[in-house]
């Protein structure tokens, strides 16, 4: 009896671990309406560069910005053409500043900003961003950015110029100061929950999980992406309810088969849902043949002594690779995967363009059971 209880406990633990591995929390698959970031952008100047700033003759907007900034500080600069043509300010660069305003921003909070050169500056290393207003899509100022840039890398300016990493862009940690918040919509009765990926099966599972946890008529699905959830009117109970809702585990739905191709680097990324059928392909001097067969060898699995378990048979997939010619590969067996096909094509010297052309042709022929996305 003790052995049976131990075996049952181990089985339940394995099932629990398996179920946990196949579930995700609502906070990871969905967002509440209103909990979104907003993009901010600003135009400013970086000062304190070591002679790597903009050439003011090539970038007249830099000199114009310097004149306006100094004019606001009470310094007058002549506007004659002779003065403009003779002005060389190699320690200043015009930059664009970007940042993401977090959800529910409050005045006084800080955020990271990214600074990128927009003129002829060779490096922003060692520079300091002068106070720059950050505007949203509506043209209003929501934050101010200022601080010293952090740029990893180095550059050597000589006859044989050398550079490590990209020096024309950097970040300022906590360099943005929020000046204006975005008011949230007040609704004490319902919240709208939006799935990050539209899926009717996942929406059904989410609705069922909320119903089992909080009761009927709490979650009402609208479509494959959105649902409305009834919340308590008391502010404290509402906060506790939303916190528990975000931590609720939802059984995952199997992803649709997809292959992502990078035409620049030749990278091929696929998920576990990709399947192959039998096919033969010829591309230039490359030749490939895949035969999917159902034959499998069966191995005898003998249980440990005195366990009471029955003898079982284990199926093992076979994979055979035959070289019919110098540039030909043949695969046979149910264990053939797209990863093996791509690896074999790379061994034959296929270029990224060859891989993309062959995989797209496989998709059109019906041998590749997956969607293809080229980035």
Predicted confidence at residue 337, as pLDDT, reads 66
Q: What number of CA atoms fall less than 13 Å from residue 236's CA on the CB side?
A: 0
- Cβ atoms of 301 and 314 closer than 8 Å: yes
Predicted confidence at residue 314, as pLDDT, reads 56
Of 91, 88, 99, 197, whose CA–CA distance to 145 is shortest? 99
Structural domains of the chain sorted by starting position, each given as residue range(s) with its CATH number in brackets: 38-178 (no CATH), 186-251 (3.30.1360), 258-374 (no CATH)
Of 21, 97, 84, 19, whose CA–CA distance to 56 is shortest? 84
Scan for tokens 């509506």, then name that residue: 138
* 2-13 residue pLDDT tens: 444 444 444 444
Of 92, 89, 90, 109, whose CA–CA distance to 101 is shortest? 109
Residue 5: CB partners within 8 Å, gap ≥ 6? none
Question: What is residue 183's three-state secondary structure?
Answer: coil
* 36-91 residue pLDDT tens: 889 999 999 999 998 888 887 778 888 888 888 888 888 877 776 666 555 567 88
Scan for tokens 């931590």, then name that residue: 247
- Regions of the chain short of the pLDDT cut 50: 1-21, 157-159, 294-297, 316-326
Q: Rounded to an integer, what distance in angstroms lies between the CA atom of residue 317 and that of residue 344? A: 19
- Cβ atoms of 145 and 134 closer than 8 Å: yes
CA distances (Å), 203 to each of 199, 226, 243, 252, 260, in order?
Answer: 6, 8, 19, 10, 25
Which DSSP string corresponds to 296-337?
Answer: -EEEEEPPPTTS-PPPEEEEE---EEE--STTEEEEESTT--
CA 65 to the chain's CA centroid: 36
Tokens matching residue 86: 């003779």
């Amino acid at each position: 009896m003790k052995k049976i209880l131990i075996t049952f406990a181990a089985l339940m633990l394995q099932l629990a671990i398996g179920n946990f591995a196949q579930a995700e929390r609502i906070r990871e698959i969905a967002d509440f309406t209103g909990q979104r970031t907003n993009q901010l952008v600003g135009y400013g100047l970086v000062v304190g560069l070591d002679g790597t700033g903009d050439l003011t003759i090539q970038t007249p907007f830099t000199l114009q910005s310097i004149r306006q900034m100094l004019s606001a500080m009470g310094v007058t600069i002549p506007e004659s053409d002779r003065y403009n043509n003779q002005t060389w300010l190699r320690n200043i660069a015009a930059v664009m500043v970007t940042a993401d305003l977090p959800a529910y921003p409050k005045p006084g909070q800080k955020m990271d900003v990214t600074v990128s050169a927009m003129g002829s500056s060779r490096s922003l290393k060692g520079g300091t961003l002068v106070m720059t207003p950050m505007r949203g899509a509506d043209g209003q100022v929501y934050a101010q950015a200022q601080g010293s840039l952090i740029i990893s890398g180095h550059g050597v300016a000589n006859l044989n110029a050398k550079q490590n990493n990209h020096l024309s862009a950097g970040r300022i940690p906590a360099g943005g100061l929020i000046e204006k918040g975005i008011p949230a919509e007040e609704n004490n009765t319902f919240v709208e929950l939006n799935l990050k990926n539209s899926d009717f099966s996942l929406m059904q599972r989410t609705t069922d999980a909320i119903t089992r946890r909080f009761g009927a008529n709490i979650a009402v699905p609208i479509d494959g992406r959105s649902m409305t959830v009834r919340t308590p009117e008391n502010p404290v109970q509402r906060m506790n309810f939303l916190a528990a809702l975000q931590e609720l585990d939802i059984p995952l739905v199997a992803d649709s088969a997809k292959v992502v191709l990078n035409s620049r680097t030749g990278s091929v990324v696929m998920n576990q849902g990709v399947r192959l059928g039998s096919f033969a392909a010829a591309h230039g001097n490359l030749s490939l043949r895949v035969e999917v067969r159902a034959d499998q060898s069966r191995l005898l699995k003998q249980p440990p002594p005195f366990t009471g378990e029955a003898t079982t048979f284990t199926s093992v997939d076979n994979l055979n690779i035959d070289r019919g010619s110098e540039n030909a590969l043949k695969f046979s067996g149910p264990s053939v995967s797209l990863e093996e096909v791509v690896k074999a094509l790379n061994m034959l010297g296929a270029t990224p363009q060859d891989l993309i052309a062959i995989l797209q042709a496989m998709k059109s022929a019906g041998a590749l059971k997956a969607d293809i996305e080229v980035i």
